[in-house]
């Protein structure tokens, strides 16, 4: 935003100074150069024959995969039920763990900004940064394969996500409502229950169904590593190249995810 005075006395306004324009032009130049360089590198590392061949192979697989083997559905009811349970129980457990972590992490409710808050933030970052598939691999090694490992993997993975969103909601509350409850002579816990909780309840419910929705999708793949659910059938079918079964499994997952999204959208709509 620069205003110049012209020789004839009139004012001329431009968005950027000449220096800023040069910097931006140079930035674009560097960007294009990097893009061209990266394109060349990738190109050299690619076997282009396979890429040109891809449409034919994809068509071939599609041909083998259709129609889906509908009769296989009888074997999928159990696993898809397991998958939904993994997602639901995992979400519930993670919420129980995430609520205290969020209160310890929020600047306005943490007992100690120096010691406890960093620990809470560390829990949030560490649980969030590891994918649930990797948590599942670790947990299968520790507690053995099965649904339980899947539940725990989902629960751990979700703590960070839920706690982070929740502590941001806690930090955004209206402090005068908290002040008002404090002024009545309420104790620390009463202030929390009356002054803070009602303000974050909508956010909490929204986070819970949002995470449940994500967890349905995540739990469908946990079976790939042996942590229960429909992923187990998926990996078995892929291994024996039973493409019509794979198609049916993908359709079942699609339906489950769509239902999950529909429910979470309805619940969030009802709260807000």
β-partners of residue 14 are 2
By CB under 8 A, tell whether 202 contacts other proteins.
yes
By CB under 8 A, tell whether 181 contacts other proteins.
yes
Within residues 252-271, the interface with other proteins by CB under 8 A covers none
* 92 within 8 A of 151, measured Cβ to Cβ: no
Piece in contact with other proteins (CB under 8 A), picked from 7-15, 81-89, 103-111, 191-199:
191-199
By CB under 8 A, tell whether 176 contacts other proteins.
yes
By CB under 8 A, tell whether 170 contacts other proteins.
no
Task: Write down the residue that tokens 């590593």 correspond to.
Answer: 225
11-14 and 2-5: which strand pairing? antiparallel
Residue nearer to other proteins on the CB measure, 17 or 187: 187
Residue from 85, 88, 182, 235 touching other proteins (CB under 8 A): that is: 182
Residue from 54, 55, 189, 239 touching other proteins (CB under 8 A): that is: 189
3-state helix, strand, coil in the chain (%, to 5): 80, 5, 20
Nearest 5 degrees, angle CA 71-CA 74-CA 75? 110
CB count within 10 Å of CB 113 equals 9
Pull the structure tokens for residue 69.
Answer: 């083997």
Task: Write down the residue that tokens 């002579």 correspond to.
Answer: 185
Piece in contact with other proteins (CB under 8 A), picked from 29-37, 92-100, 190-198, 203-211:
190-198
By CB under 8 A, tell whether 100 contacts other proteins.
no
By CB under 8 A, tell whether 185 contacts other proteins.
yes
DSSP H helices, 113-146, are 116-129, 132-143
By CB under 8 A, tell whether 177 contacts other proteins.
yes
Binding site for other proteins (CB under 8 A): 174, 176-177, 179-187, 189-190, 193-195, 198-199, 201-202
């Amino acid at each position: 935003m620069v205003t110049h005075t012209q020789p004839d006395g009139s004012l001329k306004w431009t968005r950027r100074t000449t220096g800023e324009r040069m910097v931006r032009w140079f930035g674009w130049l560097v960007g294009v150069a990097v893009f061209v360089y990266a394109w060349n590198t990738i190109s050299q590392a690619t076997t282009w024959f396979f890429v040109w061949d891809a449409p034919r192979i994809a068509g071939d697989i599609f041909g083998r995969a259709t129609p889906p083997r509908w009769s296989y559905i009888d074997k999928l009811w159990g696993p898809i039920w397991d998958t939904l349970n993994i997602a639901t129980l995992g979400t519930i457990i993670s919420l129980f763990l995430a609520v205290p972590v969020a209160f310890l992490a929020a600047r306005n409710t943490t007992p100690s900004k120096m010691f406890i808050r960093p620990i809470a933030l560390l829990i949030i970052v560490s649980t969030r940064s590891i994918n649930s598939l990797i948590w599942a691999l670790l947990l299968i090694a520790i507690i053995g394969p099965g649904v339980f490992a899947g539940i725990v993997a989902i629960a751990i993975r979700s703590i960070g996500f839920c706690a982070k969103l929740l502590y941001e909601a806690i930090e955004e509350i209206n402090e005068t409502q908290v002040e008002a409850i404090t002024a009545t002579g309420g104790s620390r816990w009463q202030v929390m229950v009356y002054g803070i909780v009602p303000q974050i309840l909508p956010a909490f419910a929204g986070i819970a169904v949002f995470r449940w929705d994500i967890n349905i999708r995540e739990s469908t793949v946990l079976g790939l590593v042996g942590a229960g659910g429909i992923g187990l059938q998926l990996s078995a079918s892929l291994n024996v190249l039973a493409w019509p079964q794979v198609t049916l499994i993908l359709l079942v997952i699609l339906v489950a995810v769509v239902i999950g999204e529909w429910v979470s959208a309805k619940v969030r709509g009802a709260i807000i």
